[in-house]
Structure 1
Amino acid sequence: MEKKLPIGISSFEKIRSEPYYYVDKTPFVAKLVEEGTYYFLSRPRRFGKSLFVDTLKQAFLGRKELFQGLYLEKNWDWSVKYPVIHIDFGGRTFKGEEHLITYILEQLEKNQETLGVPCSEKTLYDICFKELILKSYEKYKQKVVVLIDEYDKPILDCIEDRETAKRIRDILVKFYIILKPLDRYLKFVLLTGVLKFYMSSIFSGLNFLNDITLSRKYSTICGFAQEELEEVFREELQDKDLELIRCWYNGYSWLGEPVYNPFDILLYLEEKKFHPYWFETGTPSFLVKLLLEKRFYLPELENLVATDTLIGSFDVDRVRPENLLFQAGYLTIKRIFSLADKILYELSYPNKEVKVALNEVLAEYFTGDTGEVPLKTRDFLLALEGNQFEKMKKVLEGLYAGIPHDWFRKNELSRYEGYYASCFYAFLCGSGLEVIPEDITNKGQIDLTVLYRERAYLFEFKVVEGEGVEGKALAQLKEKGYHKKYEGKSKEIYLIGIEFSSGERNIKGFFWERL
């Protein structure tokens, strides 16, 4: 007698009830199953990973009725149904090891009930996992499908406490390693998450997984490609500025065609206004603290070069900002090139949403000002609009005055020119201005350029010692002739030299000149 597989509530089923919202990603389901068995996929949060996992689940459960009109309807063997073990770490905030172990056992018990497979082991999560796979295979006479969504969330929830994060990592290693020797019982395995942890930790036991994160042929497996967006949402986009939508929400790239964040698109079409919807679903507090701790030069976020190793894995023992920025979705791949037989990746912001929203947060944190930055932004933009340079200076003085004194006692930030430039850069980018850091000319490099209403503002920064103010920053701008890059391109060109006092920890000199 055939054993019937139980069916639960499906997010894929809910989406399919409103076809307007669904972009057909089922060709990737067929492709994955045809080409292999064990996979790992990393994508930023709110990018459709969970929906794709559930799509796989419903296909393996044989629910053909949900796939009418989709690619998979005629490109899947619906005569075979498989037992599916689905574990989702995305629905819980993890506070420690005991909490994690309890949750794993709850998830395993839920799968036992769904599959009708009782297990004798109730306390040892790894042994229980193995028993569930073996008994499911025995009961249904079919290989088992294992889908683990947000596999890394327990670690991310505790990432600010490195020691706790390591202990949680070790628990997950013990749990996931169960899959490796059970090949003959497994039909398909997929782990999804935000970060890929370094090979010496979790993935040392999961090296049999095929990591498709940077595979060109799977680059659009999550997110909306341009053609998909315009086809599925044709009616809703009729009166919309497609180029502006692209500027705000497109640009995420994993070596293939760039894609839109689906979370942003759906909310934009519902609310009918541009807003950092995705960014506001998570606060990058750990990342912001890490950038400050590492004295990261923020203008480098515009054009960061990283190695294949650096962007490919994450290590709790040695956290690198570049790696976290890329895998969490704050930076994306803009170009790939090779130098001396080494593969290098050029990283930058994916779009306007991330650039503006991230820098707004960075400006508040780097200046210690959590309440007045929006007001200073307004005042600076008004000053810029009217070319009121004294007012610009006062706004910036107020910005730097907010830097906590404790930060200077712990290090030599007062002598660190890059810190002042980073604060200024984050403040301007967070204001939504067009900012070009380290602006290259044939005469040299401008520290920072702002383009606004056919005007070009060229900035040079210097940190000075003692009481004297010499105007060296402005003199350098004039001497180097950097402005020639913008002659004929901008109606007005302004040179602005800013000198920071290491003693007063603020602006000492602010000189400007119109050419």
Structure 2
Amino acid sequence: MKKLPLAIETFAEIRENNYLYIDKTEQILRMVQSAKANFLSRPGRFGKSLLLDTMQQLFEGNQALFEGLYIVNKWDWLTKYPVIKLDFSSGSVSNREELDRRMHQLLANNQQRLGLEFVPCEDSINYFEQLIRETHHHYQQKVVVLLDEYDRNILDNLNTPKSANGILSGLKGLYSVLKAQDAHIHFIFMTGITKSTKVKLFSGINQLVDISLDQRFSDICGFTQVELETQMAEHLSGVDWQQLRDWYGGYQFLGTEIFNPYAVMLFAAKDKQYRSYWFETGRPSFLLRLLQRHRYFLPDFEQLEVSDDILDSFDVEHINPVTLMFQKGYLALDKVYTDELGEQSYKLKIPNRDVRSALGNQLIAGYASIEEESKTLRQNLYRALSNGDLPALKHELIYIFDLIPWRSYKLQIIEEFKGFYTSVAYAFFSNINATVIPESTRNRVQIDMTVMLGDYIYVMEFKRDERKEFTPFEPNPALVQLKEKAYGEKYRHSGKTVFYVGLIFNSHERRLVQMDWEPLEPSPSLS
């Protein structure tokens, strides 16, 4: 059985040391033959760095590493190309000056590896031009340029837009070299997480083709089920494929379904234990702050429909949370369709339980400032919901909202964020693998949310009370609304027990102050 290449992104090390390699050379060949300059956006830990390293070995003509792979008898091994590779995935910079030093060092590393002797320009942009020309002249062969994680230094500085913009400006100057030196370049390939706006950053590159949502290359990173069944079968023997898909699949880039490769390998390496491995790739502190700043209504994650411009746009000073979540892998494509305007639209989803669980924990911490008791609270909620125990559910929800410190309410500016209470409830419900279906009014004053778990369906309405001195309503207006609108009728013949649940939160007491429920009465029998 081949070893799993955890944390190994060097193609030669994998091929020379009996590590597992999922063959992506057919897709690589297709891309190389399709366009001179390509760009690929994928979430972190999806294999972008290994992809670039594989391409470097391919262009440098290291045929022995490709024996047994698709491409070995389809590539011209007699023609070798010098490769300039700029890898921004490591190291950290916080301003333009540090970026310039980092770029200069990367260029110097390439000059040394390529065996070129010339005195480099002090300015990194001129140095890059010089390196491309000298490489072409020395090897009498046009140059291949590979850029890995082009946006890493931008993403690392999103908390300080001034620094991020300075870094973006420096990178734009660097990439503009590629247009000026086009006559010396054979092929360009760039990877990143965001599409940092091809217009802003890549305007200097001629005809850069974005293959991020191109069906021909949908599986160039990540694993398909066919690949797992045929090339990773020994590691996954006896696995329940539907369960594996529910936990680690769910991605698609206008093609076949893709599994998160890093999560699947960790799953296999850790005795096939189903657990969340997502945030072993890093925690989304900036994303959480962005959601809070936008007062983002969390249940909207279950019903997002967006256009091309939302998926593609990325402006350092005006970041759309949905754009960032999609490009970083917290959201994935669910359905693609043509809307009534004749434009292509996309329905998004949280891809799998791995991401949902990890993200849910962070949302609970970020929105409610609850961390230490989170697991116990989620376990208690699960028991209450899965057993139809409404008194226990009421007790847990009251306790959860009483736990939220007042500083969290102040942080959310609760008077301006009418969806706060529902967002907290959603963060908990979605993190116990319940099915959550939100339906909300435009002003967020009354919000409906259906929660399904086991043999029970809970049709809920969240209502906010503005009175300074709360006295219980009789009857509960949220419950009355649910019954009058007959929101639960669609579930009458589901074969499950259906409850109407009315929840009232008081803005001054900042807590759940009233919760009442009634079962949906069965249909009267016909005589």
TM-score above 0.5: yes
SS of residue paired to 2:505: strand
- For 2:295 and 2:263, locate their aligned partners in 1 and report how far apart those are by CA, in whole Å: 31
Matched residue SS, 2:401 = helix
Q: CA offset at residue 406 of structure 1?
A: 4.1
Distance, in Å, in 2 between the alignment partners of 1:367 and 1:119 is 59
1:458 maps to 459
User: Hey, what's the Cα distance between the residues in 2 that align with 1:452 and 1:167?
Assistant: 49
Deviations 1:420-472 (A, max 9, x none): 111110111122323222399xxxx9822222221112211111121233211
**1:349–1:395 CA distance, 2 compared to 1 (3 A):** same
Alignment counterpart, residue 501 of structure 1, candidates 496, 499, 506:
506
Q: How far did residue 19 of structure 1 move?
A: 5.8
8 Å CA contact 1:11, 1:54 repeated in 2: yes
1:151-162 superposed matches below 5 A: 151-162=150-161
Contact in 1 for aligned 2:295/2:412 (Cα 8 Å): no
Residue 411 to residue 276, structure 1, CA distance change in 2 (3 Å): closer
Mapped to 2, the partners of 1:199 and 1:41 lie a distance apart of 11
Distance 1:219 1:288, change over 3 A: same
**Take 1:183 and 1:176, find their aligned partners in 2: how far apart are those partners?**
11
Structure 1 residue matching 2:145: 3-state secondary structure? strand
Alpha-carbon shift at residue 398 of structure 1 (Å): 2.9
Question: Does structure 1 retain, via aligned residues, the 8 Å contact 2:304–2:348?
Answer: yes
CA 1:19–1:229: 2 relative to 1, 3 Å = farther
In the alignment, what sits opposite 2:180? 181
CA distance in 2, matches of 1:416, 1:54: 47
Structure 1: gaps of 5 or more residues? 1-8
Q: Please give the alpha-carbon distance, in whole angstroms, between the structure 2 residues aligned to 1:430 and 1:207.
A: 45
The one-letter code sitting in structure 1 at the alignment partner of 2:515 is F
Other-structure match for 2:380:
379
**1:115 positional shift:** 0.3
Separation (CA, whole Å) in 1 of partners of 2:32 and 2:388: 61
Q: How does 1:196-235 map to 2 (within 5 A)?
A: 196-206=195-205, 208-235=207-234
How far 1:106 moved relative to its partner? 1.2
- Cα distance change of structure 1 residues 437 and 490 upon mapping to structure 2, 3 Å threshold: farther
The reply on whether 1:473 has 2:478 as its aligned counterpart is: yes
The alpha-carbon deviation at position 207 of structure 1 amounts to 5.4
Seq. identity, %:
38
Q: CA contact under 8 A between 2:302 and 2:436: conserved in structure 1?
A: no
- Map 1:232-381 to 2 at 5 A: 232-271=231-270, 272-339=272-339, 340-381=341-382
Q: Would the aligned equivalents of 1:279 and 1:353 in 2 still touch at CA under 8 Å?
A: no
> What is aligned with 1:489?
494
Q: Distance in 2 between matches of 1:270 and 1:18?
A: 17
Could you say which residue in structure 2 is the equivalent of 1:400?
401
| Superposition deviation, residue 411 in structure 1 | 6.6
Deviation at 1:60, TM superposition (A): 0.5
Aligned amino acid, residue 487 of structure 1: R
Whichever residue aligns with residue 163 of structure 1, its letter is K
Q: Supply the distance in 2 between the matched residues of 1:72 and 1:19 (Cα, whole angstroms).
A: 19
Note if contact 2:386-2:456 (Cα within 8 Å) is conserved in structure 1: no
Comparing 323-332 and 121-130, the one that deviates more: 121-130
Shift of 1:150: 0.4
Gaps of 5+ in 2: 1-7, 521-527
Q: Corresponding residue for 1:72? A: 71
**Aligned partner letter, 2:400:** L
Query: Residue deviations 1:464-496, cap 9 Å, x none?
Result: 121233211111122222222222323322221
Cα distance in 1 for residues equivalent to 2:280 and 2:448: 30
| More displaced stretch, 449-458 vs 58-67 | 449-458
> TM-score, normalization: structure 2?
0.91
After TM superposition, give the deviation of residue 404 of structure 1 in Å: 4.3
Shift of 1:353: 1.1
How far apart, in 2, do the equivalents of 1:497 and 1:20 lie? 56
Whole-angstrom distance in 1 between the partners of 2:163 and 2:431: 34
State the SS of the aligned residue for 1:460. strand
| Secondary structure of the structure 2 residue equivalent to 1:21 | coil
Q: How many Å separate the matches in 2 of 1:192 and 1:289?
A: 26
Aligned to 2:61: 62
Q: Which amino acid aligns with 1:476?
A: Q
Contact 1:251 1:351 (8 Å CA) reproduced: yes
Q: Is the 8 A contact 2:158 2:164 kept in 1?
A: yes
1:117 aligns with 2:120: no
Question: Aligned pair count?
Answer: 503
Shift of 1:407: 5.2
Mapped contact 1:439–1:449 kept (Cα < 8 A)? no
Aligned-pair RMSD on alpha carbons?
2.1
SS in 1 for 2:419: helix
Mean CA deviation greater in 193-202 or 141-150: 193-202
- After TM superposition, the score normalised by the length of structure 1 is 0.93
62-71 vs 479-488, which moves further: 479-488
Partner residue, 2:36: 37
Q: How far is 1:122 from its partner?
A: 4.8
Q: Aligned pair in 2 of structure 1 residues 30, 511: CA closer, same or farther (>3 Å)?
A: same
Secondary structure of 2:57's partner?
Answer: helix
1:212 deviation in Å? 0.7
Give yes or no for contact 2:31–2:217 (8 Å, CA) kept in 1: no
Counterpart amino acid of 1:11? T
Contact 2:310 2:323 in 1 (8 A): yes
Counterpart residue number, 2:5: none
Higher mean alpha-carbon deviation, 453-462 vs 426-435, is at 426-435
Structure 2 counterpart SS, 1:301: helix
Deviation at 1:87, TM superposition (A): 1.1
* Bigger shift: residues 504-513 or 487-496: 487-496
